Structure 1
């Protein structure tokens, strides 16, 4: 593999890893509040298809991303109501959301004789920096050759890391995820916190879906996500519920998604199913390594009250 192919592959890994990062970072915020949302795939498709539709109607890509985020958050609101208010099993609720979001995306995509499938965004996600900057050796294609969504995702990682581990609000949400009864005792609204952070997770998935359709592929097709939401869920575990680790893990997973194309360039053919399996295989391997080391297990552990319903009457 020559240098140009390697640089192209690494730059593509950043782009492909960005929707994984957006969806995974949102799910990480949700899980820190104690709510597990397996419905990322449904929110990504549901929010993404509406965001993509918006991008085909007008030229404001930030507006399309915002619309995708809002729709994703509304899907997550359904999960929050079921999981937090009704205390339905969170696994069941999340899986139902996958079916709902996938069906919604297929319904929207089939309207007007599937016109959306043949539509294209009015404008494209263009690189932020000029050609002279993008042509710089190494740093150009890897760091300076991306659109604003990639850089926004970096900012969101920094904000999430600071918010969760350097602010009182972050301490409060982590308290809800670790010990909701104690958090309730000191005056933190467990229900409100879980609602808000579940919707933040949905917004991240919606943005990821919009960028996937309008930014990377510039089209909508049924099943376009190809399990990206499930990879985002695995990302949270692989990263040990830490935002900066999620940034690295997202690009590792992005590289794995892009590996098939890169290997085809150099004449190596590997079945796509094998490559699609690798992110989940790496997550399992990481969990096995962490479990074998108690010190690492403490640093990479999930919130103690994750997926556990809370009721003030039973505390």
Structure 2
């Protein structure tokens, strides 16, 4: 196999696995930029993955190839509804952010598997979807010499949507009034309040946006990687997305880059045999590599990456 073919396989696989991490990491960025720590991203992804597969199986005959794309939006809405739990707990009830997020992560798999058994005659997993993202070749772009074959042939369309979303999120957070208000709430909520900014509303907005993007991330996993839903469809991707958020320093473009790196690490267990340098390494080591890398990144960077100053704090409006 020539070098261009090897690079094409590496890039394609890395993008497939990085797409859900980009969406979910961006969601976490919005939440934490507003001052709400959201460790419940894993649970949000579970609910998004479940909703997408149920919608896909129910509507594939009518919607055809558009089914997985519409399912992304449905999963995003379900992610919003699920994230309301975290918003109420942390903003209104002033619960500990970590505890609330942990409860979400414990609730989501149990709830989703229970609903799966209710909907599918007691089975713990769904059937496989026929309408899925698969691999896409972009017209015109795929014909560019060298670059076209590596980046735009048999690749992941959701990944390029995720990259575009990261750019849009960067513009929203750093170039709009909404983004300025969200960041001010995450840095100094008291000062933001004195300027007339509704701290509670902004924090709600950050959490709900994170719910939408986390749900979309889960939908990408279930419709491009697992192709069905079970209790093991989401297995740590939410925590890896959090690591990408920290590694990317709460900057959407940085989060995107970190997510692509972690996506590449996740893909090694699948494509390792095609890469000459690591093809002799037992696959089990390549499969655990992304989790080891996540731990190393968190240990090495969590103390050095400074998040929003008021992140994780409870805000009580002064009278």
Match in the other structure for 2:186: 177
Secondary structure of 1:117's aligned partner = coil
- Contact 2:87–2:204 at 8 Å: present in 1 too? yes
The yes-or-no answer on 1:205 pairing with 2:206 is: no
Mapped to 1, the partners of 2:126 and 2:312 lie a distance apart of 40
How is 1:216-295 mapped onto 2 (pairs within 5 angstroms)? 216-265=225-274, 266-269=279-282, 270-271=284-285, 272-287=287-302, 291=304
CA distance in 2, matches of 1:114, 1:138: 48
For residues 249-294 of structure 1, what are the alpha-carbon distances to aligned partners after superposition, in whole Å with 9 as ceiling and x for unaligned? 1110011111122334423215333442212212322346xx3xxx
* Aligned match for 2:150, one of 133, 141, 147: 141
* 1:128 Cα deviation from its structure 2 partner: 5.6
- Does 2:308 match 1:307? no
1:7 aligns with 2:8: yes
TM-score by length of 2: 0.88
Structure 1 contact 260–275 (Cα < 8 Å) conserved: no
Q: Distance in 1 between matches of 2:112 and 2:143?
A: 36
Quote how far apart the aligned CAs of 1:150 are: 1.9
**Greater shift after overlay, 50-59 or 256-265?**
256-265
Query: Could you tell me which residue of structure 2 aligns to residue 101 of structure 1?
Result: 108
Aligned residue for 2:21? 20
Q: How many residues align?
A: 304
Contact 2:125 2:229 in 1 (8 A): yes
Could you report, residue by residue, the CA deviation over 1:11-36 in whole angstroms, capped at 9, with x for unpaired residues?
21111000011001011011000000
Q: Under a length normalisation based on structure 1, what TM-score does the superposition of the two structures give? A: 0.89
Match in the other structure for 1:294: none
Q: Name 1:69's counterpart in structure 2.
A: 76
Please state if 1:123 is matched with 2:138.
no
Shift of 1:134: 6.5
Q: What 5-or-longer segments of structure 1 have no aligned partner?
A: 292-299
Q: Indicate if the aligned counterparts of 2:141 and 2:148 stay in contact, CA closer than 8 A.
A: no
Tell me how far apart the structure 1 counterparts of residues 272 and 154 of structure 2 sit (CA, whole Å): 22
Per the alignment, residue 64 of structure 2 pairs with: none
Aligned-partner Cα distance in 2 for 1:134–1:147 = 17
Shift of 1:66: 0.9
Structure 2 unaligned spans of 5+? 61-66
CA distance in 2, matches of 1:116, 1:212: 18
1:194-252 deviation line (CA, Å, top 9, x unaligned): 11110100111110111100122212222121100110111111100111111111110
Query: Equivalents in 2 of 1:200, 1:80: separation in Å?
Result: 11
Cα RMSD (Å) = 2.2
